[in-house]
């Protein structure tokens, strides 16, 4: 299992249990549930920029 490093989020990869390699339907179902959950979240608000200097 890979442990994420602190810092900015990295896209383009997924960590899943090794046991799911033999059962791709489990992975597909899990990804579908995750996408549905994330899609239901409100849009991310941008942070106010510092207008100094």
pLDDT at 33: 92
Please state, in angstroms and rounded to a whole number, the distance separating the CA atoms of residues 47 and 2.
30
Q: Which residues of 7-25 are buried (b: 16+ CB within 10 A; e: fewer)?
A: eeeeeeeeeeeeeeeeeee
pTM metric for this prediction: 0.53
pLDDT digits over 2-52, tens only? 666 677 766 777 788 888 888 889 888 988 998 899 899 898 888 877 776
What pLDDT shows up at residue 4?
64
State the pLDDT at residue 40.
92
**Residue 53: is its pLDDT beyond 70?**
no
């Amino acid at each position: 299992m890979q442990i994420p490093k602190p810092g900015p989020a990295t896209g383009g990869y997924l960590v899943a249990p090794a046991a799911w390699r033999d059962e791709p339907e489990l992975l597909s179902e899990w990804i579908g549930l995750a996408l549905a959950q994330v899609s239901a979240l409100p849009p991310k608000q941008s942070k106010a920029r510092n207008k100094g200097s």
